[in-house]
Structure 1
């Protein structure tokens, strides 16, 4: 048989047909590719980034702090109706029946003091723009009979039309003010700093303790595993929130105490997860090879077993952050969190309870912030779970 019949050159079309259709990806590149395809997970990731950047950067450039008080501007909502006294002079009639000088665009200008108040006749007298302005709120008691009229305003003894000219947005305080005149928007952002810090640091503490504890228990097995897991069962048998509350009562309430107490209790779930992963991996060939060449147990756990279980660990870490944030908010809500005047989403919600009917926006703002953060982390956690699961590779 001739050499020509045994060997034949391939043309370009046959060469290209044997090429790999898509480039090879590493495990993490493939996970990122799948995560990007998950719309809800990407929305959650972008939301978390935006919340973090806003909480860090906006207060740095703000002219007011979370503790700055303006008592005259207390309980002013994000949007309010304005009444025209005369050309160029506008006021907002507060729910507490007092006048606030505002601009036509909604900027808060001044909270004039009353020069005279008659409690018997339910009137307040102000001096605004050099003129005497009287607010008569005696009609509030018979508002239903008066067609909804709660007050009348007199300028230099002459009654004016109290029908609001328009409703404007509060341009001085984006989300309004609380009862002490503090800016709700800035306090929400400071609350985000505290909540995100607690969630992140507490979760890292959970990661450190849970990974080491669960890794040792799973790798050692036998009696060591039984003893370590019975300790976990004892801790897990008591409601974790109850333990956290007891620890907060014993120690001085504060941000550091919250982080420490949450970190000391919430690691049991991570330990169980890591133990299960290590039990399924420690019989693999690469672990046997490491043992054969004399690698220490600690190095086998930290350099071989834990890296191969990072997928479920990262998912659990992501899902534990909203749990820690909610726990911190609850503790602050019941008075065991950060101390005044520091702002936390829980303390903001607690402060808003007294005026929930008259000023519901003060409770809605922190509640919405907590809800958005919870949804964002849960969406991201679900997306990571799907992206890091080898069984869902496509």
Structure 2
């Protein structure tokens, strides 16, 4: 053997080290984040969902209104309106807007804040008119024919001075004079709570039920999946309706009704994943080393199925929101004065022609939320699939 001096084994100075040929390969988590952030609809959906949750649970505390306070004098106020102005002989100007659906005049200030309902004189039922006094000016509301006209004493017609947004009630009021915005936020609380609680129940029951069935196989799998098929023979919505008829209507009842049957699809998906993974070599190695079935299931099989589980959970959230809204729409959901998007929609259908804004906001909230979770689910599905490259 040739003698080698210790000097020949000295460390190479850092300045002389050879640079790596290629950067280190990204981890799976880094690749998932990169693919998810590259999906613009998914990113927008994440932002929308975060803002919705913050607004739903913290927004009502910053509003001067409550979801149950009624003011019948300010019922059916639109979120925006055309303002009119009348100046009397003393130079004082009164601004107001006309609610053409109920022939009422409401006083507002220059910024669009509501000041109250204007009281007019005695209505002329034959002439279909009503006088209003503004100092020395008399304004006549003529609704004998459409469109409604506002006439001064000299017969001239008062024209609107422009559109203004309702600064007091940003989304307007309902038929009982309640603020729609606050009720919308409380409705988001109810709908999101039902959806997330049902999803958690779905996760714990569906994941472990399907995991046990898929791992045990044989007769255990056959018996467990026959039970799932029995539940699946009844349409999910009909089953929830039947349960809601048995239970009293309310938030807890609808959570129990949805959570009791919402795990079936998750159980099937997890079972399929476990059946395809339990024959892998690492499962056989864990079994050879003496790992218990519970440890193999929780430490090896379920973590490797987390991608499809997360995507399925994301996809089932809008389904839970829709079912809760449907239950509330037909009167089997939350009870008044609580509000959910479904109950708000149900109340607004009665006055759709006269006050379409009352239906627009809850319907738009349901639609946008379902779109957001669906886009997020699509983005997670693509991001978690290692076969998808971008």
Are 2:306 and 1:276 equivalent residues in the alignment? no
Unmatched 5+ residue regions in structure 2?
none
Which of 257, 260, 267 matches 1:261?
Answer: 257
CA contact (8 A) 1:65 1:186 kept: yes
Aligned to 1:32: 33
**RMSD between aligned alpha carbons?**
2.5
8 A contact 1:112–1:127 mirrored in 2? no
Q: Is 1:74 paired with 2:64?
A: no
- Alpha-carbon separation, structure 1, partners of 2:193 and 2:255: 9
TM-score, with length taken from structure 2: 0.90
1:118-197 → structure 2 map (5 Å cutoff): 118-126=124-132, 133-138=139-144, 140=145, 143=146, 149-154=147-152, 159=155, 161-197=157-193
Q: Secondary structure at the match of 1:99?
A: strand
> What displacement does 1:132 show?
5.9
CA contact (8 A) 1:79 1:169 kept: yes
Q: For structure 1, which segment, 200-209 or 55-64, has the greater mean C-alpha deviation from structure 2 after superposition?
A: 55-64
**Structure 1 partner of 2:330:** 334
Structure 2 matches for 1:208-357, cutoff 5 A? 208-357=204-353
Cα-to-partner distance string for 1:221-259 (whole Å, 9 max, x where unaligned): 011111111111111111110000110111011111111
Unaligned runs of 5+ in 1: 144-148
Contact (CA 8 Å) 2:83, 2:95: kept in 1 or not?
yes
Q: Secondary structure at the match of 2:252?
A: helix
Check whether the contact 1:318–1:380 (CA below 8 A) recurs between aligned residues: yes
- Counterpart CA distance in 2 for 1:247 and 1:314 is 28
- Which residue does 2:358 correspond to in 1? 362
Whether 2:52 is the aligned partner of 1:51: answer yes
Partner of residue 146, structure 1: none
Q: Distance in 1 between matches of 2:249 and 2:205?
A: 23
Mean Cα deviation higher: 178-187 or 118-127: 118-127
Check conservation: 2:151, 2:158, Cα contact below 8 A.
yes
Native 8 Å contact 2:326 2:342 kept in 1 = yes
Mapped partners of 1:131, 1:64: distance in 2 = 35
Q: TM-score, normalised by structure 1?
A: 0.89
> Retained in 2: the 8 A contact 1:112–1:128?
no
Q: Say whether residues 1:107 and 2:113 are aligned partners.
A: yes
Equivalent position SS for 2:339 = coil
Contact 1:83 1:163 in 2 (8 A): yes
Corresponding residue for residue 385 of structure 1: 381
Instruction: Tell me the number of residue pairs that the alignment of Structure 1 and Structure 2 aligns.
Output: 381
Is 249-258 or 84-93 further displaced after alignment? 84-93
Q: 1:89 corresponds to which residue?
A: 94
Tell me the SS of whatever aligns to 2:115: strand
CA shift digits 1:68-123 (9 cap, x unpaired): 21211111111111121214201211121111111132211011344533333323
